[in-house]
């Protein structure tokens, strides 16, 4: 036990105390992922995640330094100690949890999926090539879906009109947030003839991460995440940057903000 404690202390040299001593919290964020982390016209990195990082620095009473990362180097940056915290639209996978310490609960989550008629023979995203999908105009992943899967998108304002268009057979399916589709499928109106047979694509749960062994920072971040959910900060950030609050953000807020029994 004693040995383990010593090892941990050595590896967690840049724990909360180390950061406070240094006076700077270094956070790896995306700089190419609107609206979660992107460049302002002046070149500053802004977005939901930089705002959350700023909140972390404020809680620690230190200055904030943002380091732009990309998917291919972010975990290495964390392992090499170039950054204290990774807060960069990182999807939660078992492989990643092996090499870094994930912060639970995940601070954000959602899939993109397609609501399809049960009569549809589409069983894979690849089957959507050349087919028309109803969509909600302004969804940030429309372009990705169109380009990645070769689907033609027919985008309407809001979610009711694309659903109506789907019912009338004007498109083969409705591509939207998975949590939303799941909600619809709870209704008898939709559960009878419609289903969500495809695997959700694009983002999954998004986790913050710290280097292995950095337990003090991990504990601090877990507390901060719960506070964000309790205060509704994540939902406020979603609104600030013009994205529809996800079911996950709402559910976690309800759960965390509920009075203790």
C-alpha to C-alpha distances, 159 to 155, 190, 196, nearest whole angstrom? 10, 14, 16
The least CB distance from residue 45 to another protein, in Å, is 15
Nearer to another protein, 34 or 96 (CB): 34
Residues 120-139 that bind another protein (CB under 8 A): 120-122, 134, 137-139
Kindly state whether residue 156 participates in binding another protein, applying the rule CB under 8 A. Answer: yes
Q: Is 62 left (phi over 0), alpha (psi -120 to 50) or beta?
A: beta
CA distance 230 to 243: 19
Q: Sign of the C-alpha dihedral, residues 234, 236, 237, 242?
A: positive
Given the rule CB under 8 A, which of 23-31, 36-44, 102-110, 195-203 is the region that contacts another protein? 36-44
User: Would you say the C-alpha torsion 76, 77, 83, 87 has a positive or negative sign?
Assistant: negative
Q: Which of 20, 143, 199, 240 binds another protein (CB under 8 A)?
A: 143
Within 168-187, the residues that bind another protein by CB under 8 A are 168-170, 172
Of 91 and 244, the one with the shorter C-beta distance to another protein is 244
**Minimum separation from the CB atom of position 144 to another protein (A):** 9
119 near another protein, rule: CB under 8 A: yes
- Per DSSP, the three-state class of 90 is coil
- The reply on whether position 117 binds another protein by CB under 8 A is yes
Peptide bond into 35 cis (omega under 30): yes
Q: Which is nearer to another protein, 87 or 133 (CB)?
A: 133
Distance CA 111, CA 27 (A): 25
Rounded Cα–Cα distance for residues 47 and 39 (Å): 8
Q: Between 206 and 245, how does the x/- string for binding to another protein read (CB under 8 A)?
A: ------------------------------------x---
Residue 72 within binding range of another protein, rule CB under 8 A: no
**CA 171 – CA 131 distance, rounded (Å):** 8
Return residues touching another protein (CB under 8 A): 34-35, 40-42, 117, 119-122, 134, 137-140, 142-143, 147, 154-157, 161, 164-165, 167-170, 172, 242
């Amino acid at each position: 036990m004693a040995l383990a404690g010593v090892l941990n202390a050595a590896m967690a040299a840049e724990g909360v105390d180390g950061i406070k001593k240094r006076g700077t919290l270094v956070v790896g964020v995306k700089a190419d992922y609107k609206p979660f982390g992107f460049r302002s016209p002046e070149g500053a990195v802004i977005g939901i995640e930089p705002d959350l990082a700023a909140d972390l620095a404020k809680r620690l009473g230190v200055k904030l330094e943002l380091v732009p990362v990309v998917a291919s180097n972010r975990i290495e940056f964390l392992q090499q100690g170039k950054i204290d915290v990774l807060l960069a639209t990182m999807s939660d996978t078992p492989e990643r949890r092996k090499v870094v310490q994930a912060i639970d609960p995940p601070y954000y989550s959602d899939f993109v999926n397609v609501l399809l008629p049960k009569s549809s023979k589409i069983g894979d995203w690849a089957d959507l090539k050349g087919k028309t999908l109803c969509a909600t105009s302004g969804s940030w992943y429309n372009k990705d879906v169109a380009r990645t899967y070769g689907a033609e998108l027919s985008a309407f304002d809001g979610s009711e009109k694309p659903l109506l268009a789907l019912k009338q057979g004007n498109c083969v399916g409705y591509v939207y947030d998975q949590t939303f589709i799941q909600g619809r499928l709870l209704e008898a109106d939709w559960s009878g003839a419609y289903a969500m047979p495809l695997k959700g694509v694009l983002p999954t749960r998004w986790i913050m991460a710290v280097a292995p062994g950095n337990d003090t920072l991990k504990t601090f971040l877990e507390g901060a995440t719960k506070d964000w959910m309790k205060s509704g900060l994540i939902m406020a950030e979603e609104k600030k940057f013009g994205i529809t609050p996800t079911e996950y953000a709402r559910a976690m807020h309800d759960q965390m903000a509920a009075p203790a029994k």
